[in-house]
Amino acid sequence: MASKGATVTAHVDPEDKRQAEEILDQLGIPVTILIKTLYRQIILTRGIPFSLALPKAPVVRGERTAGSTAAVIQGK
């Protein structure tokens, strides 16, 4: 018998959530599948499966854009 899944709860910026879910909808990927895939990659790589870095220039809260967030994730 398969076990029930565990629940993951996260508080995110509503606009970030909206934009991310819009992209995921266009890709045809449910949020649950994305989270499961991320968890599996963390286990397989034994770490975060992408680079995390501070931005070269400080970003003021409220001035963050999708581009500046992507730059942080990509280490630019």
**CA dihedral of 47, 25, 73, 65, whole degrees rounded to 10:** -160
Q: List pLDDT tens digits, range 47-68.
A: 999 888 877 877 676 666 666 6
Q: Which has the higher per-residue pLDDT, 71 or 32?
A: 32
Per-residue pLDDT band at 74 (split at 50, 70, 90): low
How far, CA to CA in Å, does 75 sit from each of 2, 29, 67, 70?
Answer: 40, 25, 12, 8
Q: List pLDDT tens digits, range 4-28.
A: 889 999 999 999 999 999 999 999 9
Burial string for 46-64 (b: 16+ CB within 10 Å, else e) reads eeeeeeeeeeeeeeeeeee
Q: Are 16 and 40 in contact (CB under 8 A)?
A: no
